[in-house]
Amino acid sequence: MPGFSTRAIHAASRIPVAPQPPLNVPIYQSATFEVGSAEELAELLEFRRPGHSYSRYSNPTHAALESALAELEGGEAAIVTASGMAAIHAALASMLSPGDEVLAPLALYGGTYAILTGLLARFGVTARFVALTDLDSVRSAIGDRTRLIWAETIANPTTEVPDLAALSTIAGAHDISLVVDNTFATPYLANPLTLGADLVVHSLTKYIGGHSDLVAGAVIGSAQRVAAARRVVIDAGGNAQPLEAFLALRGLKTLAIRMESHAATALAVALALEGRPGIRRVLYPGLESHPQRDVARRELRDGLGGGMLAIDLDGGRAAGERFLSRLRIAVHATSLGSAETLCSHPASSSHRQLSEAELGAAGLTPGLVRVSIGLEDAADLIDDLGAAAG
């Protein structure tokens, strides 16, 4: 009989066969998988055979989430990553070479700005920042080295809504790619691939996770483009963890009802705060006053505005900091898309990488506060945010 340790290891590694399928995808918390031969392992590592060999390459829980995301976004394939930033890096690094140029919006997530102006700039990629809502400016900015347009379905944090279908037409006419960060809208509100985008990225940490308890990202698109992004993720070690994939799968099940609630409450809050003393403007795609309201009606499901809004306060940075200190229900915290309403001051948090001049060009005034509307009762949030602004 084998020794105790031998028997213990093998007994604890037996995988039970369930006669009834589980309701939830199991968490395959395993770094490696048994193979039958060296040939099989080589084929698995090169993705010439279905299956899994090592979780830096693939994992069954990852695969379940990737299949779900591809289906919901209308893509052929997807890869899940360790964070939204890893997804952004994989998408850009897989599509760009030294000497290439990216067109990106003036109002842009600070992490994406940092990759474009820092990491990729060190390897010879340049970025040009333009107002993507001004299509003539986009056309004028495209040069011989332009290879990619980067857009956000709903801009972080100014809530601008670019015309993705028009941007896709412009990109196609110049044989360049369009990549869209769909984090704010989620696959429930918008599907940029159906509007002509080549790749979509997500921070799954946000609305898809929905509970501020995971960190993960995703890249979705054609099988060929996702395969290129997967190679970057494998080589850079940006793979997601199985538990994160499991939690994101859980979040997908309730995404629709959560986004409906986020959007309904956000509209109620925006309408209640718009025009109040001390508030210069409320930026929310569901408001008739929003500059791209017509685009939002076309591109977002049922014209819903999503769960993100920005409140531009009189009094500059001091007013923004005072607003955050007065919150009693909403939480002063980074991130977004949670059950709790989260508020932040972009100029000192998510967009701290930008200079004062760059903040101004992006429409990020010192008194602007970003609000991620949660699932609390609308009346309570109206009272809380109104008192904080007032």
Are 105 and 130 in contact, with CB atoms under 8 Å apart?
Answer: yes
**CA-based nearest residue to 239, from 83, 96, 389:** 83
| DSSP character string of 147-192 | EEEEEESS-TTT-----HHHHHHHHHHTT-EEEEE-TTTHHHH--G
**CA-based nearest residue to 158, from 349, 385, 296, 346:** 346
**CA–CA distances in Å: residue 98 to residues 88, 121, 180, 199, 219:** 17, 9, 21, 20, 22
The whole-angstrom separation of Cα 206 and Cα 213 is 9
| DSSP character string of 234-275 | HHHT-BPPHHHHHHHHHHHHTHHHHHHHHHHHHHHHHHHHTT
Residue 45 falls in which region: left (phi positive, over 0), alpha (psi -120 to 50) or beta = alpha
**CA-based nearest residue to 92, from 145, 171, 148:** 148
- Using the structure block, give the residue that is written with the tokens 């801009």: 155
The whole-angstrom separation of Cα 204 and Cα 183 is 7
Helix residue ranges per DSSP H, the chain: 4-11, 38-45, 60-73, 84-95, 110-114, 135-141, 164-173, 186-189, 223-236, 242-253, 255-273, 293-299, 316-326, 356-361, 378-389
Are 351 and 157 in contact, with CB atoms under 8 Å apart?
Answer: yes
What angle separates helix 378-389 from helix 316-326, to the nearest 10 degrees?
Answer: 140
- Which amino acids are annotated catalytic? 56, 109, 181, 206
